[in-house]
Amino acid sequence: MNRRDLLLNEMNIPQWILTKPQVLKGDAQIRLEDHIKLVIVCDEDYQQTRRFQDILLALNISHEEYQWINFSQSLRLNFQHSPIFWVIQENSNHELFAKKYANLTAWYQTNWNELSLPAQKRQFWRQIESFCPNLEENT
């Protein structure tokens, strides 16, 4: 008996069955729930920043209505609805993402820090303005 079988036997597990054997073959899809409205594709985690919280507030999106994932996870998404994607990645990843999800709304940023530059910040807010029910018209 090998080590794995001994450990399983000690836990009173005489036999085990893989429920998703396709995962071992590299087919690990990530199911995106229907209530998710916004998917942020970024390798760093900026969820707790004031800037991100302001964006959620402007978009009227709660913490349960967005999903933060990295780029490799984004290529394995499985969903039936049309969420908005916010891709914060280098340009080569933008192109790859755009090919895979050509018919979906996507906002692109090269990196998070460019949102601290006034011109980039203004451009981003213009890009998302039509999706922001909490923003008033500047007329």
Report if residue 125 sits inside a domain. Answer: yes
Task: Give the pairing of strands 106-109 and 66-69.
Answer: unpaired
Report if residue 37 sits inside a domain. Answer: yes
**Element containing residue 50 per DSSP (H, E):** helix 50-59
Structural domain that includes position 85:
28-131
Domains: count for the chain: 1
What's the pLDDT band for 47 if we cut at 50, 70, 90?
Answer: very high
Say which CATH number the domain at 91 has.
3.40.50.10220
Report if residue 76 sits inside a domain. Answer: yes
Nearest to 37 by CA among 12, 74, 64: 64
In this predicted model, what pLDDT tens digit does every residue of 60-69 receive, in sequence order? 999 999 999 9
In this predicted model, what pLDDT tens digit does every residue of 127-137 receive, in sequence order? 888 887 755 44
Report if residue 9 sits inside a domain. Answer: no
3-state secondary structure of 74: helix
